[in-house]
Amino acid sequence: MKLNHSSANSFSELIRYIYPWRGKAIFASTCSVLNKIFDIAPEVLIGVAVDLVVEKENSFVASLGFSSIESQVIFLGVITFVIWALESTFQYIYSIQWRGLAQDVEHEIRVSAYDHAQRLGLSWHENQSTGNITAILNDDVNQLERFLNNGINQIIQVLVSTVCIGIIFFYISPIIASIAVLPVPIIFAVSFLFQKKLSPRYRSVRDKVGALNSSVFNNLLGIQTIKSFMSFKNEKNRISHLSKDYQKENINAISISSAFVPVIRMGVLAGFLGTILIGSHMALSGTLAVGSYSVLVFLTQRFLWPFTTLGTLVDDFERSMASSKRIFDLLKTNEHIPENTDPKIVDNLKQDIRYTNVSFRYPNGADLFHNFSMEIKYGSSVGIVGDTGSGKTTLAKLLLRLYDPLSGKIFIGDDNISNISIENLRSKIGIVSQDTFLFNASIKENISYGNQSCSDEEIILAAKQSQCDEFISSMKDGYDTLIGERGQRLSGGQRQRLAIARAIVRNPDILIFDEATSSVDNRTERLIQKSFFDLKKNRTMIIVAHRLSTIRNCDNIFVIKDSKIHESGTHDELMKNNTSFYAELWNIQTGKKI
């Protein structure tokens, strides 16, 4: 079965991935070979048994030194038992080995693909469908595992069967062997043709599965919105449309693969008829022993019939190679934030932060910053305010190196952050974003996610500082309370406060609040603001906010307008000029101006 270029590349990638388990693969392959050899042997034994009945004392077994009929029968029985026992033993062993190998490779590929995906740049994730990534990590890896379970074993067994039976054929009768193998080149040519037609169809099938999974995944995430707008019918129709697309692509592939076996059977029939007609003529004319003829008749079917499994084999192979391509395409994606080969490790980030002539734009977006500069003093609390889309949150992302500027530099002290280890940099920065994500775990586990080595006392302290302890203590299970997927058993304000506690328990040198109090009520916001003064100690605090009350007491406030620093100062300084942009925003929010 000749492979097209895409399938060949995917298969070679898969073989390279199996290489660490080459010992297990070689042992499994050896067992597959031995199993097939012993599996073929009973057909030969049938010929030997027929020869024994016809020739008696002159049989093949007699030539081995067993003169009496009884001893020949006993010998044949013992050999038959041994062969069947060995065939069954090797079948058991190869089954265990191949399935074990499949599980090992499946686990390694899934974990590697997931780890690679989570380390890719944020820009890559923002252009991908979460459902499609999930489909690759689950459905595609599972499809590959199904092929590894038995597919490679089937390939080996078809090859061994073809070679071994071919040798026996040519040993017994080269003439009949030539007739029996005549359909083989045709069968392989047809296999290649079908494989070539199936390959693009199954790649399309996998793409449709990804699109369907993506839509289902997103709908389940947005089930509250769907219910609120009563859009059940629209979403059902959309899923139905995507499912129909998948169904059509699958039927398209099935229509090709289903025709394979009937075509191959015609080739098998031609070889089988040729063996019977020519072989029976030779046996009747005495040029071929009856026992040999019996072996040939039985082996012809064993020789040609495995080729009918090529239909299923090609089908499974192309499905798995389509999945492999999607997996290895993900693994070969190289959209990382670049890091030095020998990045610097810093003890702390307790120094001034400087944005120096930074220019940036999002992929396929307009310029956001051009030669932007800003300085944040160590130990200060800084507020960043401005219109929506002015780039406030982007400044935090650039500091975390979720993105890199197109030009310009960001310094912490004398260190360009691009020279600092990304892991080291982010480990010393805590961030609380507006879009809070919590895990389906206990409150304690969610808070300690920011610092998994923290003590219970540190967790409780962080909860108190973020105004969580009161509502946590009122719960039956307290800090062991399970909060559900994405924290859905908590209110929006409770989720936000847990996220603040998670950042605080990390004890970061730089603490960023990106609209962190947007989901809390005014009373809770005031309590959190009081805690901010305690959190300021020995760290720099950056607060991105629309609600100006959040940043009123900051040491310095930067007002961003048109992606530039329009003005800066303390709240009182900015309010002195009642015509300032900041004053205008403040008056609107406090109701003094409409």
The amino acid sitting at 369 is F
pLDDT digits 0-9 by tens, 393-445: 899 999 999 899 999 999 999 999 999 998 899 989 988 887 778 888 898 98
Alpha-carbon distance of 417 to 404, in angstroms, equals 10
Q: Cα-flanking dihedrals φ and ψ of residue 101, to 5°?
A: -65, -40
Q: What are phi and psi of 445, to 5 degrees?
A: -65, -35
Tokens 């004319």 identify what position?
285
Q: Within a 13 Å sphere around the CA of 62, how many CA atoms are in the beta-carbon half?
A: 13
Determine the Cα–Cα distance for residues 94 and 294; give it in Å rounded to an integer: 30
Q: Is the dihedral of CA 348, 350, 352, 357 positive or negative?
A: positive
The first and second tokens of residue 393, run together, are 């949150």
Distance of CA 30 to the CA centre of its chain: 31
8 Å CB contact between 45 and 80? yes
**Token pair of 420 as six digits:** 């600092």
CA 89/CA 34 separation, integer angstroms? 10
Q: pLDDT tens-digit profile of 127-182?
A: 887 778 888 888 888 888 888 888 888 888 888 888 888 888 788 778 877 777 77
What is the tens place of the pLDDT at every residue in 186-236? 777 777 777 677 777 877 887 887 788 778 877 777 776 677 667 778 888
Residue written as token pair 């059977």: 265
pTM to 2 decimals? 0.74
User: 183 falls in which pLDDT band (50, 70, 90)?
Assistant: confident
- Give me the amino acid identity at 337: I
Contact (CB, 8 A) for 440 and 512 = no
Give the whole-angstrom CA distance, residue 281 versus residue 276: 8
Half-sphere exposure of 514 (CA within 13 A, CB side): 20
The H-assigned helical ranges of 353-414 are 392-399
Residues 6+ apart with CB under 8 A from 397: 122, 403
**Residue 562 one-letter amino acid:** D
